[in-house]
Amino acid sequence: MLLTISMLILTGAVAGVLAGLLGIGGGLVIVPALTFILRAQGVDVGIAAPVAVATSLGTMLLTSASAIWFHDRRGGIEWPAVARLGPAVAVGAAAGALLAAQLPGLTLARIFAALAFVIGLRMLLAVRPPRTERAPWPRGWPLVGPLIGAVSALMGIGGGSFNVPYLARNGYPMVRAVAIASACGWPIALGGLAGFVVAGWGQTFLEHAFGYIHIPALLIIGATGAAAAPLGVALAHRLPATLLKRVFGLLLILVAVRMAW
């Protein structure tokens, strides 16, 4: 029990620091780590994978709130864009969560692995969205928003890896794109969590779990991640971000290959 709690605290701390340091969603760390923890306890992958994804979304209700407050204090969030994109990604996230709950656990793990590999490769190669002179506006949000939300819920992430390039291509400066994407992480987490609650209603998969949501893991990882995020922000001003992204991208590729295997 003590070892499990220590691993959950470590997972939350690493996810929080990386979120503040690199601007990535903590789910890219939380999902593989929590899947490993549950599998080490003898939980079948058919349960471990969806529980890890659902719980990761739950933790973001805490970590996203912290990020939103941080960005809003600096005036970085354009709320009219969030008002359009937020509900769209929430609807997509709910649908993605319902789909994830119906997929075999191994299939869900491999979907995460494939998408994480692509994200890791982009980070390793330091791929940046091309600059554009278009006026800032979330073009095509009724179609793009639900798609981003659905894919994010399938992975248990806040959608920043998809929202930031989308917003940058639609004329937003990178700093503002990151801030808007952070604000959209909360509706993704809320919509995805709602989908998993509906899918797991009345079912008991694990001890101390509500359907697919592992309550102790959600609270421990979420609280630790929210507390550790400011440290990552502070380090971001001192460490070379491009090099760190490439290192994390390589690690993410290795994690993706391991999960797919």
**Distance between CA atoms of residues 223 and 242, nearest Å:** 28
Specify the pLDDT at position 226: 86
**Distance between CA atoms of residues 223 and 229, nearest Å:** 10
Count of beta carbons in the 10 Å neighbourhood of residue 6: 11
Q: What percent of the chain has pLDDT over 70?
A: 95
For residues 176-181, average pLDDT: 86
Of 120 and 230, more confident: 120
**Is the pLDDT assigned to residue 81 strictly greater than 70?**
yes
**Is the pLDDT assigned to residue 130 strictly greater than 70?**
no
pTM over cut 0.75: yes
Question: How far is residue 173 from each of residues 124, 150, 169, 202, 245, measured CA to CA in Å?
Answer: 22, 25, 9, 45, 19
Specify the pLDDT at position 114: 93
| Torsions phi, psi for 213 (to 5 deg) | -100, 115
The encoded tokens of residue 181 equal: 């994407």
Specify the pLDDT at position 7: 95
- Which three-class secondary structure state does DSSP give residue 204? strand
**Distance between CA atoms of residues 24 and 3, nearest Å:** 27
pLDDT class of 73 with cuts at 50, 70, 90: confident
**Distance between CA atoms of residues 242 and 227, nearest Å:** 24
Specify the pLDDT at position 198: 94
Specify the pLDDT at position 66: 76
For the chain, what is the domain count?
1
Specify the pLDDT at position 16: 83
Specify the pLDDT at position 241: 66
pLDDT tens column, 25-63: 688 999 999 999 999 999 998 999 999 999 999 998 888
Q: Which helix (H) or strand (E) holds 56?
A: helix 45-73
Supply the range of the domain harboring residue 107: 2-260
